Structure 1
Amino acid sequence: MQFGLEASLCALVKSKFSTAKASQALIFSFTELSVLRPNSDTPFQLRYCPALSEKPKNNSDDPSKDSESEEKKKFDPFENPVGDLVIAHVPRTKPSHVLVLNKYPVIPQHFILATKKNKAQTHVLEEEDLAATYACLKEWEASRDGSFIDAKDKRRLFAFFNSGEHSGASQAHRHIQFLPVEEMARAQKKDDEGWRPLIDSMLESRHTLEFDNKRLLYSPSIPFTHFAVPIPPSPLSDTLFNLYKLLHEAASASVRAHIASSPGDLSLHPTEGGASPISYNLALTTSGMAICPRRREAGMLRDAEGAEVGDVALNGTILAGTLMVKAEDEWDLLRGDRGLAELDKLLQGIGIPQRVSEKGEDRLRL
């Protein structure tokens, strides 16, 4: 998919972000940052942002408000987005999506790809959604004149999609979010170097399992079930869509296997109208695609005496290896002596437990 933008996507987003921040169309919140290294030995960014505890809560994912009258009352930020937040309608001819800035970012240049029509976030993605997502990832890495930047100066985007009540999704209108990788790492201290998006580790893993006669990548050190596949250079839109379907089917199979082995812990979602039977997070870079099936949106942190400290919600940024807390007690606990153990419990609890073979070398076939 070719966007036909007036400038490079990176330059356009930076310019729009600066304008929207100055006009207060968006509210940028600074975060404190620390890098944790849990038992998986995979660095995780921990961000602390008390300002976001004041963010207005959207009711679009409240299952108790599902009547037609209530549906009409829900505010849709992507139906008529604020002018200063709009980056572009894409593609230029017969646009199917709109690019908008996130209204409450904690990472500079955080932006969103939303469908022009109000399509459901809980439905499976369509081919044009994947094509537009990959086009954003590729456009970001291109220079103003369309040539590609030297590897040492290469810009990267991390894309993520939250779907389902356990995924951390906050809006019902279908949208994919983008974070510049360099901006995510910029606030790190020298001692915190070594973090990189978690999806990179998944894609570099030598561990595979077979599903539908195809090989999926996974990392045994990561405590939640996940699957990853590389994306070939210059993929066709149907290639991207088929990779997504493969990952979604594998994730659905893992959820069904968990339901069978742990009755009462989780249920499949209704699938009327094309809805996904599972909650999940999807992540993409130009190198690959990864998925994480979910069974809970949040997990409870506890102190040494077992007392509850705070309920921490996670979304698709876990596939980037990052999470955020809004309370000082949570921030202190995760950086303290018990922090790594609590982080591992948190990550185990929100996903599907890994299923390991008797030899411990590979996961069981689904």
Structure 2
Amino acid sequence: MLLGLSEPLPRLVNTKFSVAKAAQHLLFSSTELAVVQTTTGIPFQLRYCPALAKKPTASKDDAPREKKDPFDNPSPDLWIADIPAANPTHLLVLNKFPVIANHFILATKQSKPQTHMLEDDDLDATYACLKAWEEDNPANKTQRLFAFFNSGEHSGASQPHRHLQFLPVESMRNDKASAGWDPLIDIIASSPDSSQTEAQDSLRQDPRLPLTHFVSSIPTTPTTSQLFQTYEALYNAAARSVQAYKQAYPSIDLALHATEDGSLPISYNLAMTTTTMAILPRRNEGSMLRRDDGSDIGFVALNGTALAGTLMVKYQEEWDVLKSRPEKLDKILEAIGLSHHPSS
């Protein structure tokens, strides 16, 4: 897909983000950053954002209000472009509540369900954005995007209108505290410890991660058909793994989607770079972080940025515990996906 933009994508996004931030059309929350590791040494960015704990929440007694679709005729202050320029199928819009600079979103022009199978043009537009970001400055190998998709409420989706999201990797690294971190999707793809799965020779997993995942390489200059075939192979592997897990552990609630409206039966996260695609089947949006005596500290939710190797907390005690206790990170990862050592 040729985007047909008026200027290079990184400059277009950065200009729009800077103006929107200055005018307070978006609410940027800064985070404190540390790199933590699982017990097997996989690095994760841990972001502490106390501002999120101060956001007002609706009372149970409040009358329900119809939720506005942010991607249906989005605010001109956040809208970036319709793509492709001729007969657009998608639009690009800034995330209104970012914690990473230049966080933007690709949404379908026509409202389509987040819980349905992605389509050819969704993947085509995603890859076109990933490629356009890198082509603006090919000499700078760190200038690249991480794309992610949350397929439903159990994997972090907050909007039912189909959308994928982009984070610039250079913005994610924009702190000395991120030393030692690389996007998880890159680590799995390049790790000598990762192995081919029995189900499909082209898919890989890293045994150091305590939950099921599948990773596949993307051909150089892929066709639309090749992108969809890669996605389909990953989805099918994830769906098979969920069914096998359900049979092995029938007492564990996998929070499967209802399928009457055409929704897929499983919840998952998808991630993409220009070289790699990955999928993470999910059973919970998050997990309760607990003290050693079993009392609750706070609920830690993860979305598709888990495949970048990053998570965020709102409270000081969560931040302190996860920085000092790698096994606590393991427990959260085990709880959100199909873990090797499940607990109900």
TM-score interval, normalised by the smaller of the two chains:
over 0.9
Measured at CA, do residues 330 and 154 of structure 1 come closer, stay the same or move farther in structure 2, by a change above 3 Å? closer
Aligned residue for 2:146, secondary structure, equals strand
Match of 1:149 in 2: 138
CA distance in 1, matches of 2:67, 2:99: 24
What is the one-letter code of the residue matched to 2:107? A
CA distance in 2, matches of 1:323, 1:207: 25
Alignment map for 1:1-366 (pairs within 5 Å): 1-55=1-55, 73-143=66-136, 149-150=138-139, 152-189=140-177, 192-205=178-191, 206-211=194-199, 213-267=200-254, 268-336=256-324, 339-354=325-340
Cα deviation digits, residues 129-182 of structure 1 (max 9, x gap): 000000000000012xxxx512x5441100000012310111111100000001
Kindly state the Cα deviation for residue 57 of structure 1 after the two structures are TM-superposed.
6.0
Aligned length: 334
CA distance in 2, matches of 1:49, 1:188: 17
What is the one-letter code of the residue matched to 2:289? L
Cα deviation digits, residues 39-90 of structure 1 (max 9, x gap): 12111100000112234669xxxxxxxxxxx8x9221111121111001000
Kept in 1: contact 2:142–2:170 (CA 8 A): no
Match of 2:61 in 1: none
Cα deviation digits, residues 270-304 of structure 1 (max 9, x gap): 22343111010000000110000001111111112
Gaps of 5+ in 1: 59-69, 356-366
Kept in 2: contact 1:226–1:291 (CA 8 A): yes
Measured at CA, do residues 55 and 112 of structure 1 come closer, stay the same or move farther in structure 2, by a change above 3 Å? farther
Identity %: 54
CA distance in 2, matches of 1:236, 1:274: 26
Structure 1 runs of 4+ with >6 Å offset? none
CA distance in 2, matches of 1:55, 1:196: 30
Kindly state the Cα deviation for residue 308 of structure 1 after the two structures are TM-superposed.
1.1
CA distance in 1, matches of 2:55, 2:89: 29
Kindly state the Cα deviation for residue 214 of structure 1 after the two structures are TM-superposed.
3.9
What is the one-letter code of the residue matched to 1:323? L
Cα deviation digits, residues 200-236 of structure 1 (max 9, x gap): 011113411132x543111000111000000010001
Aligned residue for 2:288, secondary structure, equals strand
TM-score, normalised with respect to structure 1: 0.88
Aligned residue for 1:335, secondary structure, equals helix
CA distance in 2, matches of 1:57, 1:208: 45
CA distance in 2, matches of 1:140, 1:40: 33
CA distance in 2, matches of 1:266, 1:100: 35
Kept in 2: contact 1:119–1:173 (CA 8 A): yes
Kindly state the Cα deviation for residue 38 of structure 1 after the two structures are TM-superposed.
1.5
Kept in 1: contact 2:289–2:328 (CA 8 A): yes
CA distance in 2, matches of 1:354, 1:209: 15
Kept in 2: contact 1:40–1:223 (CA 8 A): no
Aligned residue for 2:110, secondary structure, equals coil
What is the one-letter code of the residue matched to 1:82? S
Aligned Cα root-mean-square deviation (Å):
1.8
